[in-house]
Structure 1
Amino acid sequence: MPALLKTLFVSITCIIWSSTQSQTMDYTVFNDAINDSIENYLQEASFSISQAQLQSALANITLARELALNTQNRMYRAKTSRVLAELYFELGDLKKAEEQINDAIKIQQEENNEIALAYSYNIYGSILTKLERYSQSKKQLDYAAELIKKNGIKNLEGPVRLNLGLLALSNNNPKLAINHFNSGLPIINSLQQHYYKAKLYTNKARAQLALNLIDEAKKTNDLAMQIGEERGYSEIRSECFELYSEIYERKKDFATSLVNLKAHQKFKDSLFNINKEIIAQEAGAKLDLNDNNVLIEELTEENIQQQKSLKLGRLTTILSIALITILSLLTLSLYKNNNLRARANELLQNKNTELILAKENAERASEARVQFLSTITHELRTPLYAVTGLTHLLLEESPTPNQKEHLNSLKFSGEYLLSLINNILDLNKLEANKVELESTSFNLQKRINDVLIALGKSASDRNNTLHYEFDSTIPAKLKGDPLKISQILINLIGNSIKFTQSGDIWIRVKLINRIDCRVYLNFEVEDNGVGISEKKQQSIFENFTQGSVQINRKFGGTGLGLSIVKNLLALMDSEITLESQLGKGSKFMFDLKFDVYQDETTDIKNEAKKLDYDILINKRVLVVEDNKINQLITRKILEKNQIICEVADNGDIAVQKTKNGNFDLILMDIHMPGISGIEATKQIRLFDTEIPIIALTAVTLDDNLDEFYKNGFDDIIPKPYKTEEFFLKLHKAFSKKQITS
């Protein structure tokens, strides 16, 4: 509405101006009024651009240009072109911005107006920087600096130094950029040029980030964000959120980085950017129309000259009516704008309240999830310890070959189940690539054999036949993460068994290439089962996704298997591909690289075989454990190697027994009734700092290892443990105690 009123006013003013040409004195006075109007419109447009209020800037430039094209003053045309170049620069149309600034510079050079040229050279320099014509940009900005110094144009010193800094930053010279920004800041500050100050801070933060001065960059960006929020500069706030995202990414705080990146994206998708596009289209339409108006006016100049004979009295009447109409419409417009602004403020407050509630709910949900994962990890691992421990004991009691095969399969399945629990409970960590790969020697062919034995019964239950093709040229010993390989194959083969009835499943492993001590292998798992439709092939690897609701009801499952496979392969720098046809079967393929294992001295089993078990005989060990089954298993394992074992059901009993007894080592569980294992260890260390204490725990260790050592533990054995690793750590503790004593 305000733009419409201004247009009406301009039209009336133009009629009055053209009609009073016949009277020299009246024309001179009125022409001065028009020049003043042009000057005011251009000043308002420049101010609006500096405040990022582009809609208002466009309206004022349109009005100024209509008046300037009707006046004989070429300098006003040049100034209009210069302000228009600023607008096109903010809208991102660099081509039109360059055209307009060149038109302005041409007129200003012909008129030898150094002050106007200083402004134009500064703008042209910033345009050329964006166009990556750096040498030309430096030349224009130097011209501007010389004219500023010569003519004492104070309000332009800061913006020129800002543009010199932007040029240095674009030219990969962040140190020089910071020098320019620092020199311009006091000037911009003193003149309260808030928009330029905010732009200076954001780009100074970019320069500091380029120099890896992360903390300084954050402080500078905080200052820019403060101005952006106080002044309502949406574009500045968007840039600040983008910078925060990069700063927190450098700090490895990926969660905060993601929050700021989303905030930046929200601003990019906001009405501010949509309005910029609308303004750009509107600018083209309006300004092109003005050019056409000029052409029309030039063609009809004779008609315009004839209208100069109109009487001043008639014009005064028209002007009075127009002004009354304008004032009435303006009052109505202000009333409506105030109502709209009040409704908008109320809507923003409601949305703010909703966002705060949503944030609080998300934080509570995250805390509940963390607590749940911590609890369920311990509860799942404790019974799993009993499974793996009893399996180990049964394997050492001379089972028949058939029993031994089943027990080995059970042991393998227990190890796989532990890995699966870890990955499912921490799937978000897996997707964030925070799960670490192990590097140990293993026999790939035997590992796959173990997988097929473990899945053999499932296959036979569904009357499926497993076909195993293993390339004989693949080395016997490879180096990698065997548990993760097993997990990938169990998920893929299990998936094929699940969706195939009375069919065939092929497992193929081929050598693609060998370079020095590294081999590149191709894996295929193919079946002739139900297959997957083309539509579902795009989403089958997402979390909790299966082919359809009917498939989920018929076959069951969580829908996590293929998602885990995809993420594990991504962790190993590989990806899975799928070929499938509905009703004819599916084929999953992926490639992996392994180092050929050459030195077996670090193998845990080999190290365990080389241990001097005599050092363990008659050693007195206190087992602190509240679970009766776990007590039994640990006690049997120790006593089979002639170790004297005593049990304490909780931490309080452990402290008393350590005071009264003479033990060589303590195996301490962490979660127990009464005082925890950590608290019990602290109390023991008050009177005995020498006895080795090993944490035998089912908790997830991750990054908490330092906490165990700080609280007095000598080592940690996570449950369920491998027996070889268990005795290696016991042997290490006893050997260390012998040396120190």
Structure 2
Amino acid sequence: MIFSIINKGLRHLLLLLLLLVTVHNFYGQDSIPNQDLEPYFTEARKLKNQNKIDLALEALDKAANNAEKNEDVKALIDSLHEIALLYLQLNREGDTEFYWDRASVLLKDIAYPYGDAMHKYIEAVLLYRSDKNFQALFMLNEAKQLNNDRNFFNRILLAEGQVYLNLEKYDSASKNFNSLIVNTDLYEKDYFTVQAYLGLATLNLTTGNLSESAKYAESALELARNNDFARDVKEANEHLNTVYEKLGLYQKAWANSQNLLQINDSIFNVDKLKMEAKTADKIRDDFKTEEIARQETKIEELTESQNRSEITAILTAAFLTIISLLAVSLFRNNQIKLKTNDLLQTKNKELTIARDGAVQAMEAKTNFLSTVSHELRTPLYAVTGLTHLLLEENPSKHQLEHLKALKFSGDYLLNFINDILHINKIDANKLEPLNMEFNLKKVLNEVMESLQQSAKANNTKLVLEYDNDIPGHLMSDPLKLSQIFMNLIGNSIKFTRNGEVKVITKLLKKEDDDVTIYFEVKDNGIGISKEKQQSIFEGFEQGSIQINREYGGTGLGLTIVKSLLGLFQSKIELKSKLGEGSSFFFEIDMKSMDDVIDDVSFEITKRDYNFKGLHLLIVEDNKINQVITKKMLSKKEITSDIASNGEEAVVLAKENTYDAILMDIHMPGISGEEATIQIRQFDQETPIIALTAISLDDSLESFYAAGCNDVVTKPFKPEIFYQKIGENIFDKKAKNAIS
């Protein structure tokens, strides 16, 4: 089954590659998606910025109806998203979430990066409005990775600036707002400039720089008046009224207050608000009515299908009953003829063969999955590498959408292969724990936040009791800890309805850098009977058939937890009473890092390196991979030589001087590890980066032990590839110069 899924994924990738060639041959100019509906979106943007929300809603409602009529799913998603944002401007978060949910359903069945990006952007704005600023920043960053549309990017910049302002990160907020002042947006240039002026005005007012605050507010007011941005004109006047009062310029403050009275009387009056509310209610109610009609049609279709299925099931059951009776009769006749001893001997032989077959099948499965997961990385490297190169070569608009879809499919298949390898490593006891610095409270909060939706569905409350004596910086494996708590908390939520799931942490012991932490996940759900508590941690165990039917699942969650805790030399324990709830608890030893200073970072700062003039050695046996890696280096003006095997790499390293060596591990002849060992006998300085596809039997420690300075797994993200080269060449030289 796994082999079939992988084959299907590869077929999709090949079809996408063929589609790229076909599109390139048939079209001589860029195609414009949703061209027929663009006038509606343009009109809605203009009306929204002029605070004519009711008219903007009507324009977008027409766009949604046309998109549904033409069965244009992407255009319908875009319409629903823009409608959701308009309801947000009316402070109707409930209606925003309603349209956001409708878009969620459509996005599940289509690969649409822009739609996914806008979906995360709206979620981020809702989080910001709920004062969940850190989560909002995280979601905005995820949205930013999915799309580079200029108008969308400016929306992200504005939202980030507002969140930074809320978090008192004034330097970051100022950077975003100043970027928007000089924006080149095709649709809303003046709107973003006004918002940037207002943001800087608020920032300077907050920091006490009143004259600068007034200057930015006056700029916002002038530009807003020129464009008839009624809401922004009102906000700028309110701001100036406050600033001029603080500056003692009461005449100017009085003038702005008079402007406010005039604006409120002419624009923000009761009739207008009633009209907006009436239009908003009508569009929402009409949409809900149509949605109900669609659902009723589906229910009727499903009911007819169910009736046919019931008749088939009855006939099948009757047929199986007759066959069973005949089988029982034949079996009894055969029992009389066969001797008991012969039967026992035959059964024993069958059991022996079945046992040996099961062992061989398990070994074959492990070896097969290891081989497949490793071998698939080579063609995936070609797919992702070629996609990156094509994206770098300024593709036309109609090619860009297909290239992004190809990249999405490649990343999806890579994650799928990584999951197979991870599960297989647990089964084969080859999973190695990492040791890295992390914040435990942050890890637990992220896990619990990701499970909040499941908890709400069961009307269950999630509670964290965290011991603040636990050091803020610990050394262990946060990824595997996240997996443990995802399984434990998820398991408790599944079996707890209208109750509470509590996560408890306690510092049991701290001696120098050694700490022992107690963890407990406690619920008041259905509980586990005493006779089932002994087997609950075995694979595919869920207490009973009835529990499996009612709550679902495979029963592997607690088995995975038990295996992962074994990597930490820890053991999970259980206390439970049927009908009263369960408590899973364990202890883990970690290292603390008390000397690390807390610093919340919102962005990962990547260094820019000047690669021009570098000369590298590529050690790679696959011809396609050679071409791709060499071309990626050429993009950064890096020259390179190619060695097709380990022996050739050793010879070239002796005869030439390289700034770094990119070493494949799995090659015919001597392996990359052996070649590295031989090179290190005469060259201890040149950085060697293992550029390889990791398999089940590979150990990162063995790469480092052989003499590698770093490891980049194929396929890789280009930015990581360049970053690793820069770190190992330039940072190493800088470090050596200091020492």
TM-score of the alignment, normalized to the shorter chain, above 0.5:
no
Give the TM interval when normalised to the shorter protein. 0.3 to 0.5
User: Structure 1 length as normaliser, TM-score?
Assistant: 0.37
User: Structure 2 length as normaliser, TM-score?
Assistant: 0.37
Larger radius of gyration: 1
